[in-house]
Amino acid sequence: MTTIWAPAAASSTSLAIHGGAGARPSLLNPDEKVEYHRALEISLLAGKTILDAGGSAIDAVCASVMVLEDSPLFNSAHGAALNADGLAELDASVMLGSGEAGAITGAKIVRNPVLAARAVMERTKHVLLIDPDEQRLASWGLETVPRDYFITPARVAQLAKLQAQKSTGPQHGTVGAVARDRDGNLAAATSTGGTANQFVGRVGDTPVIGAGTWADSDVVAISCTGQGEYFLRQVTAHDIHARMRYGGADLRTAVADTMAALGDAGGLGGLIALDAAGDAVLVFNSEGMFCGHLENGAVITNV
């Protein structure tokens, strides 16, 4: 298991992001590594700019996640993994440290799923909606795109290979962010295309509050990535929160114990977590995880 520790900065704001566990850095050539580092850097800078200006944690995590959703490099929105029918079904969730949350699953036409999840939280009485339609998305002021917008040549090739092998792809690949703003508010956001060659209608942990995403400003904010079925069964994000809130564990201990339990159950993946003081942990038990964080104002990325 690999753990990255990022202590709180003097500025009192904190930010960490991930672009999916299950990454295999050994297969990337030098130019590809530069591309991934740059995309993660742009994502961090998008959130950092908001936090530095006194903006909210929710604005910061959504800004960071949108950058990753718009990039073809990551399994979310443009560049999402394709299901068995060769199409993208998108999941996303957001949660505020005050307890409000919103999520979508099976979305097909919204350009930035994280914004649809935020709209569910802010503009409805619900927490989780299935595939909001064009009319509803328009009423929320969100951009829609044709379904082929999400399809990239790399994902088409991946799906063809998996279907020839009659298998599903690595159950990894999600993007997410956690942040603490100047007022001490925490927020988390997560977005994914799921698993390559998955059954149509399959849902993983990302849109399930408590499994893939959690935030409590008094305790911790978390965004997960990995084999969604394991994160669902273990309620991974909330498990960390419970260890801290009810068991009195510190951040590093809670994350280590939860990841150990996940690994013992056979699950692979990772997560990013940020506590009330702004300390961050980025951890994964897979070969790699695209991720990054702020360290004393500097942007640090891991590929």
Residues acting as catalytic residues: 174
Helix (H) or strand (E) segment spanning residue 213:
strand 213-216
Handedness of CA 177, 182, 183, 184 (dihedral sign): positive
Of 238, 225, 244, whose CA–CA distance to 283 is shortest? 225
β-strands 101-107, 14-21 pairing: unpaired
Q: Which two tokens stand for residue 151?
A: 């399809």
Look up residue 289 and give its amino acid. M
CB atoms closer than 10 angstroms to residue 31: 7
Q: Cβ(19)–Cβ(74) under 8 Å?
A: yes
Handedness of CA 182, 71, 215, 95 (dihedral sign): positive
Chain-centroid distance of CA 248 in Å reads 26
Of 161, 152, 131, 162, whose CA–CA distance to 77 is shortest? 152
